[in-house]
Amino acid sequence: MKRILAAVLLGFGLTAGAVLASVDDEILSRIQPIGNICLQGEECGSAAAPTVTASAGPRSGSEVYGAVCMACHTTGAAGAPVIGDASAWAPRIDQGLETLFSHSINGFNAMPAKGGCASCPDEEIKAAVEYLVAESK
């Protein structure tokens, strides 16, 4: 009887050890690094990161609208006037472009400064305002 009990316990021990080893292998496979960091000036092989080129100039109003403004000015989110809705834009246009530029750059009511695009230069925001006005008259 002692031999049977010892054999059963040994079998459970081996099985538990195999299961734990399998779990450890799964954990190790899930936490493997997905890449390597290569600092500028280091020799990192042929798969060096591509260089980022600077923009050739400011984006057009329609490009800025598509990248930044579209989310709110297409849906009317948070009370934003929808592009092409002349009746919604008329009172705003009557205030003048300088007021629209100021509101769009500094924020106004629910609209955050620069529509939330902190990296956009003022000239791109102004181009987007001009585009919105032109499309909404």
Give the DSSP per-residue string, 65-76.
Answer: IIIIIHHHHTTT
Residue 59 one-letter amino acid? R
- What is the number of other CB atoms lying within 10 angstroms of the CB of residue 67? 15
Which CATH superfamily, name and number, covers 61-135?
A: Cytochrome c-like domain (1.10.760.10)
d(CA 34, CA 39): 17
| pLDDT greater at residue 21 or residue 118 | 118
How is residue 108 annotated by DSSP?
Answer: B
Give the residues across from 101 on adjacent strands.
none
Which pLDDT band, with edges at 50, 70 and 90, does 22 fall under?
confident
C-alpha 127 chain-centroid distance: 23
* pLDDT digits 0-9 by tens, 41-78: 888 765 555 555 555 678 999 999 999 999 999 999 99
Global pTM exceeds 0.75: no
Q: Is 62 exposed, middle or buried (0-12, 13-18, 19+ CB in 10 A)?
A: middle
- Local structure of 60: helix, strand or coil: coil
Task: Report the alpha-carbon distance of residue 91 to residue 136 in Å, rounded.
Answer: 12
Q: What mean pLDDT comes out for the span 13-19?
A: 58
Q: What per-residue confidence (pLDDT) applies to 25?
A: 81
Sequence ranges of the domains in the chain: 61-135
| Mean pLDDT of the residues in the chain | 84
